[in-house]
Amino acid sequence: TFSIGAAHSAERPNVLLIVVDDLRPELACYGESDVHSPNVDRLAARGMRFDRAYCQYPICNPSRTSFLTGLRPETTQVFGNDIYFRTKLPDAITLPQLFRSSGYKTVSLGKIFHAGKLHGADSSGGSDAEHSWTVSKQFTATKLGQQGEGRDLTYPGGNKGWCRWLAAEGTDEDQPDGQMAAEAVRQLELAGDQPLFLAVGFLKPHDPFIAPKKYFDLYPPASIRIPSVPESKGTTAPLAIAKGLDFSKFTDQDRREFKRAYLAGVSFMDAQVGKLLTALDDGDRWQNTMVVFFGDHGYHLGEHHWWNKGTIFEESARVPFIFWSPEARGMGQSTRGIVELIDVYPTLCDLCGIKPPRGLEGESFRPLLVDPKLPGKPAAYTIAVRGQGIGRSVRTQRWRYTEWDGGKQGVELYDQQADPDDYANLAERPEYAATVAELKRLLARGG
């Protein structure tokens, strides 16, 4: 076992950080019994499952920039996928950068920082390799892994390469995520006296929806259930749904195939997580390794007629989040305490005995790991930009309250106990005026 606050880096725990692209809580351990996710379920049974965990921005790059710097999007000013965060924050100390400077070997596999050719990014395509990582690796599908049965879904103006699925030929390792899992296992096996910070960024279930055929076979098309969308009650803000995508042309076949392909990606990812858990089993590594598993933001699978991310409804803001800490008394339980992804940075510093940099905007949730019955934070905050305006949302244990452009372009209030999918906007009802006023003050405090 390790000693928190140990004087010597060799006594510090290893950290396995698993970040999954576009994963909402579409897992059996979150009550989705139709989903085949035995490995993530096993991790949830061992560690702590958080039922009220939220991202700070429902798009990849802004979300990842936030939790990796420990700063809220309004501080980072990273609101899109085309901005390399160091053009805004050249002196930021990232989570892996701090661990690297504290004696850890830091390894990035796949998508941790937002991948892609970002303006001003380093040659590794935005991985921040120079500052944050001892080792940084990306992976590419084989030729065989790009072949198989698939279809472009009905998307106005063409699918632009993303709105498609492929039940691919080949094995797991013909796909980037399979290669990533194999390399992650190798890195765990190589770990010696130097503590390891291993970050594994699985790409699926992110579009395009490509996975080996065997994972599609887990979900017969006739078994796929599409949510019915009730008529919204009350006024929904016109900016609540992002512009630029129109799913009204989707047929029932498109909807079934979209969700089936997303679920195939979830199960494919789950199988790769299983390989990492087996490596922890085989090497008796659980007692000196912390494991953090989460999605970078949520996702809609037909709710509000939306098939993507980018909203600040519950489906897009809420994420699956599982944490294993060897010495925490609350392991094996779940919690409804509120946490935010921005809290990962200070929590890992707290548990590993590393002094955090000044100015972090999250807080350690270590108390929840000891007593899952605690309430956690009073609220979680998520924002999204629409044109020149910003939608700002606050989530408490019961309510979600959202203002667009300071309320000038819409206000939303949802009772999550009675209306978990955010369809009945109560903001304009007189009987909720006091609740609106209270949440407005909470939103103004901004975390």
Q: b or e along 299-308 (b: 16 or more beta carbons within 10 Å of the residue's beta carbon)?
A: bbbbbbebbb
Structure tokens at 321: 């989040």
Structure tokens at 277: 């858990």
The per-residue pLDDT for 327 is 87
In three-state form (DSSP H/G/I as H, E/B as E, the rest C), the secondary structure along the chain is: CCCCCCCCHHHCCEEEEEEECCCCCCCHHHCCCCCCCHHHHHHHHHCEEEEEEECCCCCHHHHHHHHHHCCCHHHHCCCCCCECHHHCCCCCCCHHHHHHHCCCEEEEEECCCCCCCCECCCCCCCCCHHHHCCEEECCCCCCHHHCEEEEECCCCCCCCCCCEEEEECCCHHHCHHHHHHHHHHHHHHHCCCCCEEEEEEECCCCCCEEEEHHHHCCCCHHHCCCCCCCCCECCCCCCCCCCCCCCCCCCHHHHHHHHHHHHHHHHHHHHHHHHHHHHHHHCCCHHHEEEEEEECCCCCCCHHHCCCCCCCCHHHHEEEEEEECCCCCCCCCEEEEEEEHHHHHHHHHHHHCCCCCCCCCCCCCHHHHHCCCCCECCCEEEEEEECCEEEEEEECCCEEEEEEHHHCCCEEEEECCCCCCCCECCCCCHHHHHHHHHHHHHHHHCC
Structure tokens at 288: 């000196």
Residue 169 DSSP class:
S
The per-residue pLDDT for 114 is 84
Please give the Cα distance from 43 to 33 (Å, whole number).
16
Contact (CB, 8 A) for 213 and 384: no
Residue 353 backbone class (left: φ over 0; alpha: ψ -120 to 50; beta: rest): left
The per-residue pLDDT for 351 is 97
Q: The whole model's pTM is what? A: 0.95
Tens-binned pLDDT, residue by residue, of the chain (447 aa):
333 333 334 479 999 999 999 999 999 999 999 999 999 999 999 999 999 999 999 999 999 999 999 999 999 999 999 889 999 999 999 999 999 999 999 999 999 998 654 434 343 445 888 899 999 999 999 999 999 999 999 876 667 789 999 999 999 999 999 999 999 999 999 998 999 999 999 999 999 999 999 999 999 999 999 999 998 888 889 899 988 888 998 999 999 999 999 999 999 999 999 999 999 999 899 999 999 999 999 999 999 999 999 999 999 999 999 999 998 999 999 999 999 999 999 999 999 999 999 999 999 999 999 999 999 999 999 999 998 889 999 999 999 999 999 999 999 999 999 999 999 999 999 999 999 999 999 999 986
The per-residue pLDDT for 300 is 97
The per-residue pLDDT for 1 is 31
Indicate if 349 belongs to the active site.
no
Contact (CB, 8 A) for 424 and 232: yes
Contact (CB, 8 A) for 318 and 47: no
Structure tokens at 51: 């039922």
Indicate if 60 belongs to the active site.
yes
- Nearest in space to 300 (alpha carbons), one of 242, 342, 341, 244: 242
Q: Which of 29, 60, 163, 352 is catalytic?
A: 60
Q: Which of 36, 114, 206, 304 is catalytic?
A: 114
The per-residue pLDDT for 290 is 98
Please give the Cα distance from 211 to 181 (Å, whole number).
14
SS3 39: helix
Contact (CB, 8 A) for 162 and 208: yes
The per-residue pLDDT for 156 is 64
